[in-house]
A = this chain, B = another copy of it.
């Protein structure tokens, strides 16, 4: 066999605390994996709720959530606010317009831009969804102590910043 497995490029010396056997990986403890499973479970549950009650996808709901707080945004501004991409926004918007949940009006100053807003119907739906969303969040948060909630908040910020770095600086190594 020609596997040259010398100098494991992982372990330095001994690993004080949570050393796994160097050449093995426990998926169920692997943070990226756990985040993914958790996020999918949560998102799927909520997506089901939204679609069952309001026939809304998550991207569409996100657009409404932003427009509810910040009227008169353009699609590009939605991109900034949501971390969703252009195309996703464009599609969500066109569905929402078809449903009469939002309105689109030309910006006379810049005729490329289109100004988006919740319609009356849209605001109505928005106001019914917000409590539902909050209920889900409260339910989730309900499993944590106040302290843990604060911890989680700051931990997420830190992880997010680190992951953002990756995207900027390119891959590790």
Taking a contact as CB atoms under 8 Å apart, the answer to whether B135 and A162 are in contact is no
Contacts of A23 in B (CB 8 A): 127, 130-131
Taking a contact as CB atoms under 8 Å apart, the answer to whether B83 and A17 are in contact is no
19 CB contacts below 8 A, A to B, read A2-B120, A10-B131, A17-B146, A23-B127, A24-B68, A25-B69, A25-B133, A25-B134, A30-B65, A38-B39, A41-B163, A45-B167, A48-B171, A132-B173, A135-B172, A140-B159, A148-B151, A151-B151, A151-B152
Taking a contact as CB atoms under 8 Å apart, the answer to whether B155 and A49 are in contact is no
- Contact of A36 with B by CB under 8 A: yes
A→B interface (CB under 8 Å): 1-3, 5, 8-10, 17-18, 20, 22-28, 30-46, 48-49, 52, 62, 65-66, 68-69, 81-83, 120, 123-124, 127, 130-137, 139-144, 146, 148-149, 151-152, 154-156, 158-164, 166-167, 171-173
Taking a contact as CB atoms under 8 Å apart, the answer to whether B43 and A130 are in contact is no
Contacts of A151 in B (CB 8 A): 148, 151-152, 155
